[in-house]
Amino acid sequence: MLDEKMTDAINKQLNAELYSAYLYLSMGAYFESEDLSGFANWMRVQAQEELSHAMKFYDYLVQRGARVTLTEIETPPTEWDSPVAVFEHVFEHEQMVTGLINKLVDLAISISDHATNNFLQWYVAEQVEEEESASGVLQKVKLAGESPSGLFMLDQELSQRVFNPPASSQ
Protein backbone atom coordinates (compact mmCIF):
# COMPACT_ATOMS: atom_id res chain seq x y z
CA MET A 1 0.00 0.00 0.00
CA LEU A 2 1.22 3.47 -0.88
CA ASP A 3 1.86 6.03 1.86
CA GLU A 4 -0.96 8.60 2.20
CA LYS A 5 1.37 11.57 1.61
CA MET A 6 2.76 9.91 -1.50
CA THR A 7 -0.74 9.05 -2.73
CA ASP A 8 -1.85 12.67 -2.33
CA ALA A 9 1.28 13.98 -4.04
CA ILE A 10 0.95 11.59 -7.00
CA ASN A 11 -2.74 12.48 -7.38
CA LYS A 12 -1.73 16.16 -7.52
CA GLN A 13 0.88 15.34 -10.14
CA LEU A 14 -1.65 13.36 -12.15
CA ASN A 15 -3.83 16.49 -12.14
CA ALA A 16 -0.83 18.63 -13.16
CA GLU A 17 -0.17 16.31 -16.11
CA LEU A 18 -3.82 16.61 -17.18
CA TYR A 19 -3.52 20.40 -16.93
CA SER A 20 -0.39 20.22 -19.10
CA ALA A 21 -2.35 18.35 -21.77
CA TYR A 22 -5.13 20.94 -21.52
CA LEU A 23 -2.60 23.78 -21.80
CA TYR A 24 -0.99 22.28 -24.89
CA LEU A 25 -4.38 21.73 -26.52
CA SER A 26 -5.15 25.39 -25.86
CA MET A 27 -1.85 26.37 -27.44
CA GLY A 28 -2.69 24.13 -30.39
CA ALA A 29 -6.03 25.87 -30.79
CA TYR A 30 -4.24 29.22 -30.73
CA PHE A 31 -1.91 28.07 -33.51
CA GLU A 32 -4.85 26.74 -35.55
CA SER A 33 -6.42 30.20 -35.32
CA GLU A 34 -3.14 31.68 -36.58
CA ASP A 35 -3.08 29.28 -39.57
CA LEU A 36 0.02 27.51 -38.26
CA SER A 37 -1.15 23.91 -38.48
CA GLY A 38 2.35 22.47 -38.06
CA PHE A 39 2.76 24.33 -34.78
CA ALA A 40 -0.71 23.11 -33.80
CA ASN A 41 0.35 19.54 -34.62
CA TRP A 42 3.40 19.87 -32.35
CA MET A 43 1.10 20.97 -29.52
CA ARG A 44 -1.38 18.16 -30.18
CA VAL A 45 1.42 15.60 -29.95
CA GLN A 46 2.65 17.29 -26.78
CA ALA A 47 -0.87 17.02 -25.31
CA GLN A 48 -0.94 13.31 -26.15
CA GLU A 49 2.39 12.86 -24.37
CA GLU A 50 1.06 14.61 -21.28
CA LEU A 51 -2.05 12.42 -21.26
CA SER A 52 0.16 9.34 -21.42
CA HIS A 53 2.20 10.70 -18.50
CA ALA A 54 -1.00 11.19 -16.51
CA MET A 55 -2.11 7.64 -17.26
CA LYS A 56 1.22 6.25 -16.06
CA PHE A 57 0.58 7.97 -12.72
CA TYR A 58 -3.02 6.72 -12.73
CA ASP A 59 -1.91 3.14 -13.38
CA TYR A 60 0.82 3.34 -10.74
CA LEU A 61 -1.67 4.45 -8.08
CA VAL A 62 -3.97 1.55 -8.99
CA GLN A 63 -1.07 -0.91 -9.04
CA ARG A 64 -0.03 0.17 -5.55
CA GLY A 65 -3.57 -0.16 -4.17
CA ALA A 66 -4.08 3.58 -3.81
CA ARG A 67 -7.15 5.59 -4.69
CA VAL A 68 -7.05 7.79 -7.77
CA THR A 69 -8.64 11.15 -7.00
CA LEU A 70 -9.35 13.42 -9.95
CA THR A 71 -9.83 17.11 -9.26
CA GLU A 72 -10.84 20.16 -11.23
CA ILE A 73 -8.50 21.17 -14.04
CA GLU A 74 -7.66 24.86 -14.15
CA THR A 75 -8.59 26.78 -17.30
CA PRO A 76 -5.46 27.43 -19.38
CA PRO A 77 -4.70 30.68 -21.20
CA THR A 78 -6.08 30.94 -24.72
CA GLU A 79 -4.16 33.88 -26.20
CA TRP A 80 -0.49 34.68 -26.66
CA ASP A 81 1.27 37.60 -28.32
CA SER A 82 3.35 35.52 -30.71
CA PRO A 83 4.72 32.06 -31.45
CA VAL A 84 7.80 33.06 -29.44
CA ALA A 85 5.59 33.88 -26.43
CA VAL A 86 3.91 30.48 -26.73
CA PHE A 87 7.18 28.56 -26.73
CA GLU A 88 8.58 30.68 -23.91
CA HIS A 89 5.51 29.58 -21.96
CA VAL A 90 6.10 25.95 -22.99
CA PHE A 91 9.70 26.05 -21.80
CA GLU A 92 8.77 27.72 -18.49
CA HIS A 93 5.97 25.22 -17.98
CA GLU A 94 8.28 22.25 -18.55
CA GLN A 95 10.78 23.70 -16.08
CA MET A 96 7.95 24.00 -13.54
CA VAL A 97 6.94 20.36 -14.16
CA THR A 98 10.55 19.31 -13.65
CA GLY A 99 10.42 21.00 -10.25
CA LEU A 100 7.22 19.12 -9.38
CA ILE A 101 8.78 15.78 -10.36
CA ASN A 102 11.88 16.59 -8.31
CA LYS A 103 9.68 17.29 -5.27
CA LEU A 104 7.98 13.91 -5.74
CA VAL A 105 11.38 12.23 -5.82
CA ASP A 106 12.40 14.14 -2.69
CA LEU A 107 9.24 12.95 -0.93
CA ALA A 108 9.76 9.34 -2.00
CA ILE A 109 13.33 9.46 -0.69
CA SER A 110 12.29 11.14 2.59
CA ILE A 111 9.76 8.38 3.37
CA SER A 112 12.02 5.59 2.06
CA ASP A 113 9.56 4.65 -0.70
CA HIS A 114 12.09 3.00 -2.98
CA ALA A 115 9.50 1.58 -5.37
CA THR A 116 8.03 5.02 -6.05
CA ASN A 117 11.49 6.56 -6.31
CA ASN A 118 12.31 3.93 -8.94
CA PHE A 119 9.04 4.62 -10.78
CA LEU A 120 9.72 8.36 -10.78
CA GLN A 121 13.14 8.01 -12.38
CA TRP A 122 11.42 7.56 -15.76
CA TYR A 123 9.87 11.01 -15.28
CA VAL A 124 13.20 12.53 -14.24
CA ALA A 125 14.73 11.38 -17.54
CA GLU A 126 11.60 12.37 -19.48
CA GLN A 127 11.76 15.92 -18.14
CA VAL A 128 15.32 16.29 -19.43
CA GLU A 129 13.95 15.42 -22.89
CA GLU A 130 10.91 17.70 -22.47
CA GLU A 131 13.03 20.71 -21.55
CA GLU A 132 15.48 20.02 -24.37
CA SER A 133 12.66 19.73 -26.90
CA ALA A 134 10.92 22.91 -25.72
CA SER A 135 14.19 24.85 -25.64
CA GLY A 136 15.11 23.64 -29.14
CA VAL A 137 11.85 24.75 -30.69
CA LEU A 138 11.97 28.04 -28.77
CA GLN A 139 15.38 28.81 -30.24
CA LYS A 140 14.14 28.04 -33.76
CA VAL A 141 11.04 30.21 -33.30
CA LYS A 142 13.23 33.05 -32.06
CA LEU A 143 15.45 32.66 -35.13
CA ALA A 144 12.42 32.74 -37.42
CA GLY A 145 11.09 35.83 -35.63
CA GLU A 146 8.31 37.45 -37.62
CA SER A 147 9.72 36.26 -40.95
CA PRO A 148 6.84 34.68 -42.90
CA SER A 149 9.22 32.38 -44.78
CA GLY A 150 11.00 31.37 -41.56
CA LEU A 151 7.70 30.62 -39.82
CA PHE A 152 6.49 28.71 -42.89
CA MET A 153 9.59 26.50 -42.92
CA LEU A 154 9.36 25.88 -39.17
CA ASP A 155 5.63 25.14 -39.49
CA GLN A 156 6.48 22.50 -42.10
CA GLU A 157 9.09 20.97 -39.79
CA LEU A 158 6.74 20.88 -36.78
CA SER A 159 4.01 19.25 -38.86
CA GLN A 160 6.19 16.12 -39.06
CA ARG A 161 6.11 15.37 -35.31
CA VAL A 162 4.22 12.18 -34.39
CA PHE A 163 3.19 10.75 -31.05
CA ASN A 164 5.21 7.77 -29.89
CA PRO A 165 3.64 6.22 -26.78
CA PRO A 166 6.17 5.53 -24.04
CA ALA A 167 7.10 1.91 -23.48
CA SER A 168 5.28 0.49 -20.51
CA SER A 169 7.47 0.29 -17.45
CA GLN A 170 4.90 -1.62 -15.41
Per-residue pLDDT of the chain (170 residues; tens, 9 = 90+): 899 999 999 999 999 999 999 999 999 999 999 999 999 999 999 999 999 999 999 999 999 999 999 999 999 999 999 999 999 999 999 999 999 999 999 999 999 999 999 999 999 999 999 999 999 999 999 999 989 999 999 999 999 999 998 876 44
| pLDDT at residue 168 in the model | 61
With 0-12 CB in 10 A as exposed, 13-18 as middle and 19+ as buried, what is 1? exposed
In this structure, are residues 53 and 17 in contact, taking their beta carbons and an 8 Å threshold?
A: yes
| pLDDT at residue 69 in the model | 97
Indicate whether 164 belongs to any domain. no
| pLDDT at residue 170 in the model | 44
Q: How far apart are CA 123 and CA 166, in angstroms?
A: 11
**Global confidence as pTM:** 0.94
| pLDDT at residue 167 in the model | 75
Indicate whether 163 belongs to any domain. no
Indicate whether 153 belongs to any domain. yes
| pLDDT at residue 166 in the model | 82
At 146, which amino acid appears? E
In this structure, are residues 120 and 108 in contact, taking their beta carbons and an 8 Å threshold?
A: yes
| pLDDT at residue 169 in the model | 45
Indicate whether 169 belongs to any domain. no
Rg (CA), the chain: 17
Q: What is the CATH number of the domain that holds 72?
A: 1.20.1260.10
Per the structure, the complete domain to which residue 13 belongs is given by 4-158
Indicate whether 168 belongs to any domain. no
Indicate whether 122 belongs to any domain. yes
Indicate whether 40 belongs to any domain. yes
Indicate whether 81 belongs to any domain. yes
Number of domains in the chain: 1
